[in-house]
A and B are shown apart, each in its own frame.
Chain A
Amino acid sequence: MTVSIPFYILSAITLLGGLAAVTLRNTVHCALALTAAFAGLAMLFLQLDAQFAGFAQILIYIGAVAILVVFAILLTRNAELEATSVFSRTWIAGLAIAAAVFTVLGWAIMQTASRLPEAWPTPQVTVRDIGNALMSRYILPLEIVALLLTAALIGAVIVAMHEKEGTK
């Protein structure tokens, strides 16, 4: 992997976005900072030449998950802005937990990284390869995910329907 200037810029964006997402006071600002972190992550995928993963990350995370997060924030609390400090009170605890998770993950990765061969050729994965793999080797996970999505869709419709019956 080439450690170059774009990599530093993108990782800075991702890290700052993530940090801002946990330390900002205004929840909608947190959601927007999380979106910036998603964008940085997508561009890191693109830098590793994983086109499908990068664009799917933008399409799904920024286009759907971020919108869902902001809708949830807006519909569940009144977005009144208290004129207090920008950073939330529990930022030390959040930072400590994040640092602990990072340590565990980093240790796990470093343990496995020492076992990989030195010259690891970058795989050229096209969308066609992903499609072939999904249809041949990973067909069962594909069907299970489809089942999960159907259940989620039906659940959403049922939740919305109950509210309408309640007001009639």
Chain B
Amino acid sequence: MIEKLDQIFLLLRTWLVGFLPARWQAAAGVVLGVVAIIGTYPALFALGTVMERKGLGRMQNRLGPNRVGPFGILQPVADGIKALVKEDVIPSRADKAVHFLAPLLLVVVVFMGFAVLPMGRNMVLVDLDAGLLFFFAMGASTELSVFMAGWSSRNKYSLLGAMRAIAQMISYEVVLLMSSLAVVMISGTLSLPDIVDKQNRYTYGLPHWYAFTPWGFAGLVMFSIAAMAETNRSPFDLPEGESELVAGYFTEYSGFKFALFFLGEYVGMFSIAGLGATLFLGGWTAPFEFLTWVPSWMWFFGKLMVAMCIFIWIRGTLPRLRQDQLMNFAWKFVLPMTLLNLLVAALWRFLGHGWLRWVICWVIVLGAYVLMAQIGMRKRNLGPRRYRYAE
């Protein structure tokens, strides 16, 4: 019974596909999986927008939306209707083809990333041998859509926002890849279901998640920093900063295209949170051995929701980073830490099983963090602020 609940979506798919002749069954199975993904994640997006607005509201000491449904739950419906009926304004000198294609490209590429995420036991849409590489390839393609949006609007704000967004996304893409490289090193595989399988063991009831190891913890922190920067999420949201750049690269988009950009951003956030959960938090495995009776997909979506709440929490708490501050942070602090993390992961692998490797690896990670922070702060003479004016 528990196993049936765990595999309920797969059993449902097999039952539905059984109505078709044998030749079409494989293709119909894939189509059903795609339909399920396209149905689930926008629903989660709607839930995510309500959570965000209510959460941010409470953190800023105000109520969020509370008019539309009980506690504002039907707000996404109102937003969707508004986006659909709004007039689609395109600037007259804008590049019409590129302006039209940019949100399309973003949404397509972001949804493709879900094809390799294992959302439950045996519940991955395509089990690719190089699944992680596929995911990062899709993430790299989102930068192109950002550029297309910014350039085709023929607007200085959009172009500036797009340039900043791309610079930020490229820098943190390197950090993202390097921090997941330690996981690939230790697992020995690029295939995401295999990485989850390697974390599916329990010692004294505690799981073998990579986040509980020194290099995994450091990797998770750096991965989440890079994830927030990749999806242009506060505190890295200078490209779409509402107080600086009007709306950044999607200034000239109104109505449904803006809704598509919004959808792409939030679904991208879910997708990268799903990847972080798969790589570091064990994907669909349960946190304690006595909890393995809960269905695996519930654990995956639970971790996704927790990650979303942490993203919202950080957005409501930390101030926005300036462009040069975030670039400095990426290249001078986080990237050396990711390289050190690779070294620590290698030490972890070769120091044998025992308490020695725990002590040495934690000492190296924490010591390097403190040391680099001290060195970074020392050169900064924080005296009274001096202004340089443009001449």
Contacts and interface: CB of A to CB of B under 8 A. Distances in A.
A41 interface: no
A135 interface: no
Interface stretch (B7-15, B138-146, B218-226): B138-146
B147 A59 contact: no
Interface stretch (B22-30, B66-74, B129-137, B282-290): B129-137
Interface in A98-153: 126-128
A67 B133 contact: no
A62 B144 contact: yes
A63 B145 CA distance: 11
B137 A126 contact: no
Interface string B75-102: 0000000000000000001010010000
The dominant DSSP class at the B interface is helix
A58 B190 CA distance: 16
A9 interface: no
A63 B141 contact: yes
A64 B163 CA distance: 14
B237 interface: no
B175 to A, nearest CB: 14
Interface string A34-50: 01000000000000000
A81 B147 CA distance: 17
A127 B140 contact: no
Contacts of A55: 130, 133-134, 136-137
Contacts of B148: 32
Given A126-B129, A127-B129, A59 B136 contact: yes
Interface in B120-169: 128-130, 133-134, 136-141, 143-144, 147-148, 151, 159, 163, 166
A64 B170 contact: yes
Interface residues of B, number: 26
A66 interface: yes
B173 interface: yes
Nearest to B93: A81
A64 B173 CA distance: 10
Given A55-B130, A58-B137, A63 B143 contact: yes
Contact of A59 (B133, B144, B159): B133
A67 B137 contact: no
B130 A127 contact: yes
Given A28-B151, A79-B151, A62 B141 contact: yes
Contacts of A127: 129-130, 133, 190
Nearest to B97: A29
Contacts of B137: 55-56, 58-59, 62-63
A51 interface: yes
A52 B133 contact: yes
Contacts of B98: 28-29, 32
10 contacts: A26-B95, A28-B95, A52-B130, A58-B138, A59-B137, A63-B173, A70-B151, A71-B163, A74-B151, A128-B189
Which 5 A-B residue pairings sit nearest by Cβ, starting from the closest?
A63-B140, A58-B137, A55-B133, A59-B137, A51-B130
Given A52-B133, A59-B136, 11 more contacts: A28-B95, A29-B98, A51-B128, A56-B133, A63-B144, A64-B140, A67-B166, A71-B166, A81-B93, A127-B130, A127-B190
